[in-house]
């Protein structure tokens, strides 16, 4: 059973109206448990729309999506996935630990278990000493690590990430990519990641899904095999080959 199954999915906004937008068309994709799959394509091609369809934040106009063998809607109700966005979305009036505990609180965990879990997650993202701080006292990269900790706190099998590092400077972004790879390897969580960055897609992924301009379709799926990754991987000839292949696929869909 695949972690995510997307079958013949299309999404049309404002169907039948003058402002109708055909966002994605006839997308077919299976994502296996433990995979790291990145969606990349031109602006407006429907990457984020597809992610939100998987999350059941939107409903498909046609086709079907299953998560862990359930409908996307049931998976959302069962809290089978976590989400991380470009903005960390932390509540300024709550401490870092309390931000991590928020989904657990909503799920009815008792106070002792929430505290234990938040401490574990702070260790996971290597910020154990910041539990009593408030978000404004943290850098942008640190805030994103807390957002990832919060999204993983209830141990979801799937993590959906929509350009979570897009607002960070280049060096912080590379550091966060390395940290995310470490967390992914330690938790064995399935990750679906949206980005505009070709090097980011290659360094992170098992497979890169290249989408065409709107209406977004899957143009090509590029396997990436870099073995165990580290900061040195960015200097590996295989990394540059992957970057070139993804860039050429994007040039092809954009007619360049």
Cβ atoms of 121 and 149 within 8 Å: the answer is yes
Please tell me the distance from the alpha carbon of residue 103 to that of residue 121, in angstroms, as a whole number: 13
pLDDT at 135: 95
What the chain holds in terms of domains, given with CATH numbers, is 1-80+197-256 (3.40.50.300)
pLDDT per residue over 35-84, tens digit each?
999 999 999 999 999 999 999 999 999 999 999 999 999 999 998 999 98
Cβ atoms of 250 and 244 within 8 Å: the answer is no
Lookup: tokens for 199:
């090097």
pLDDT at 168: 83
Is the pLDDT at 180 greater than 80? The verdict is yes
Average pLDDT estimate for 206-235: 93
Rg of the chain over all Cα atoms, to the nearest angstrom: 18
pLDDT at 56: 94
pLDDT at 246: 97
pLDDT at 88: 82
H/E stretch holding 139 reads none
Is the pLDDT at 256 greater than 70? The verdict is no
Beta-carbon contacts of 235 under 8 Å, excluding residues fewer than 6 positions away, are: none
pLDDT per residue over 132-179, tens digit each?
999 999 998 899 999 999 999 998 999 999 998 887 888 888 888 988
pLDDT at 38: 97
Instruction: State the pTM of this model.
Output: 0.91
């Amino acid at each position: 059973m695949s972690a995510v199954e997307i079958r013949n999915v299309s999404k049309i906004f404002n169907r039948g109206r003058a402002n109708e937008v055909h966002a994605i068309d006839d997308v077919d994709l299976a994502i296996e448990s433990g995979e790291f799959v990145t969606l990349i394509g031109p602006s407006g091609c429907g990457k984020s729309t597809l992610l939100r369809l998987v999350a059941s934040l939107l409903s498909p106009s046609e086709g079907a999506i299953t998560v862990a063998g359930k409908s996307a809607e049931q998976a959302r109700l069962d809290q089978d996935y976590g989400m991380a966005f470009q903005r960390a979305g932390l509540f300024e009036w709550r401490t870092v630990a309390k931000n991590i505990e928020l989904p657990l609180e909503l799920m009815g965990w008792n106070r002792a278990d929430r505290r234990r879990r938040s401490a574990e997650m702070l260790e996971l993202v290597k910020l154990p000493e910041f539990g009593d701080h408030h978000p404004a006292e943290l850098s942008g990269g640190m805030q994103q690590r807390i957002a990832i900790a919060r999204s993983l706190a209830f141990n979801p099998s799937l993590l959906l990430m929509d350009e979570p590092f897009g607002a960070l400077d280049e060096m912080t972004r590379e550091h966060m990519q390395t940290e995310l790879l470490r967390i992914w390897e330690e938790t064995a969580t399935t990750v679906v990641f949206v980005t505009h960055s070709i090097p980011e897609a290659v360094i992170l992924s098992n497979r890169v899904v290249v989408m065409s301009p709107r209406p977004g379709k899957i143009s090509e799926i590029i396997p990436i095999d870099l073995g165990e990754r580290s900061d040195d991987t960015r200097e590996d000839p295989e990394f540059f080959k992957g970057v070139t292949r993804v860039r050429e696929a994007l040039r092809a869909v954009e007619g360049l």
